[in-house]
Amino acid sequence: MKMGNDSAVTEFFLVGLSQYPELQLFLFVLCLIMYLIILLGNSLLIIISVLDSRLHTPMYFFLGNLSFLDICYTSSSIPQMLIMFMSERKSISFLGCALQMVISLGLGSTECVLLAVMAYDRYAAICNPLRYPVIMNKVLYVHMAVWSWVVGCLNSLVQTVLTMVLPFCGNNVIDHLTCEILALLKLVCSDITTNVLIMTVASIVLLMIPLLSIFVSYVFILSSILRINSAEGRKKAFSTCSAHLTVVILFYGSALFMYMKPKSKHTTASDEIIGLSYGVVTPMLNPIIYSLRNKEVKEAVRKILSKYLGLRKI
């Protein structure tokens, strides 16, 4: 599967978890089910937030962005992953690999910023409830969402271009399930100091700084919640924040493990499992977490279903 040292690479072979052939069918079925849940759950959240006027708030605007992002992110990798599980020739073209990497890295970076923006929204809502409509006005929260996408996509574009112009010297076997930038850099046969430096800076800016801002936001949020006299008020405040905090822990836990741990020349099975969790499990759990932990979403679902079923009866 490798070519000569001076050969130009025109395709890559994705061999992640191929050392477990007995698991390929199981992984195919598992990922297919999770992908269908991702599409259904996130699409329903977007539809509900659009149809129910009570959910036309900054929080649900950001949640709609997150759901759309998760659909796009998983659609850039899971369909191709499903084909690989059932195919003997696990190859992807050079251009296809670059496209997959720029989309997945861009959307992953965007989610880092978007989760920090959502934390700030919760901070403004709970710590400054009377000024919240003024602070989080439509112009501001739309700009915050747009800049989340812009920053994430620019980071991805820069890192992908800097990676794909490097020489691979015929090395085209990627020990990963997808065209992931860390796995691809292991194939490069020239100095990657610049790439590593840029990736480290990007990890600090797009992982550590947003995570720090989320932590600071929740310190103030927790302090405000504990000062609420009403037990019902405290419960409602905790309810609106717990879903977001759960998603943050799942997403950042996987991301930090992948991008901030010491780099190794070889990809281990644990790396693959964490990568699968980062790319499939977290997007699947997001709509479930927000639906189960959010009373407003449950009420909106009941309202839409009752209206639809009522019309059906007529």
Q: Tell me the mean pLDDT in the region 227-246.
A: 77
Q: Three-state SS for 5?
A: coil
Interstrand relation of 11-14 and 91-93 (parallel, antiparallel or unpaired): antiparallel
Given a contact cutoff of 8 angstroms between Cβ atoms, the answer to whether 155 and 206 are in contact is: yes
Q: What is the pLDDT of residue 6?
A: 47
**Domain ranges across the chain:** 11-303
Angle at 142 between CA 138 and CA 148, to 5 degrees: 150
β-pair partners for 13: 91, 173
Confidence band for 264, pLDDT divided at 50, 70 and 90 = low
Q: What is the pLDDT of residue 168?
A: 86
Q: Which residue has the higher pLDDT, 74 or 295?
A: 74
DSSP for residue 192: -
Dump pLDDT digits (tens) for 70-102: 999 999 989 988 888 888 788 899 999 999 999
Question: Regarding predicted confidence, which is higher, 237 or 166?
Answer: 166
Instruction: Calculate what percentage of the chain has a pLDDT beyond 70.
Output: 88
Whole-angstrom distance, CA of residue 179 vs CA of residue 310: 48
Q: Is the model's pLDDT at 1 over the cut of 50? A: no
pTM, to two decimals: 0.85
Residue 262 pLDDT exceeds 60: no
What pLDDT score was predicted for residue 3? Answer: 44
Q: What residue type is 154 in one-letter code?
A: L
11-303 has CATH 1.20.1070.10 classification: yes
